[in-house]
Amino acid sequence: MVGSGEFTPAMEEVDRFLLSHIKTPKVAILPTAAGQEPDYYKWIEKGIAHFSGLGIEAHGIPIIARDDAHRLAKKLHEFNFYYFSGGNPGYLLGPLCGVAR
């Protein structure tokens, strides 16, 4: 996890380094922490654009509430790199706690 600057040029070097340790990166963008924001989807769009610029395909997984987490949990198995966007860190765990894998 990073503190800020996600999906900006400031993170390109860090993200390239992390991705270089994965044979075939499959990136999931999770805007969960931004779940209280009406425009949370902007984080998915920014993430997809950012990773596209790095030559990596990324997909948004809109886990915003607990029912989303239960419905989409199995989909997460398709990915090996999980990027949680900006937002409220205090909100992040609520939708994810207790979700069966």
Q: Tell me the residue ranges of DSSP E strands in the chain.
A: 27-30, 58-60, 81-84
What ranges do the domains of the chain cover? 27-96
For residues 41 and 72, is the Cβ–Cβ distance under 8 A?
A: no
pLDDT digit string (tens) for the chain, length 101 residues? 566 789 999 999 999 999 999 999 999 999 999 999 999 999 999 999 999 999 999 999 999 999 999 999 999 999 999 999 888 888 888 888 866 55
Q: Where are the beta strands (DSSP E) in 8-64?
A: 27-30, 58-60
pTM: 0.89
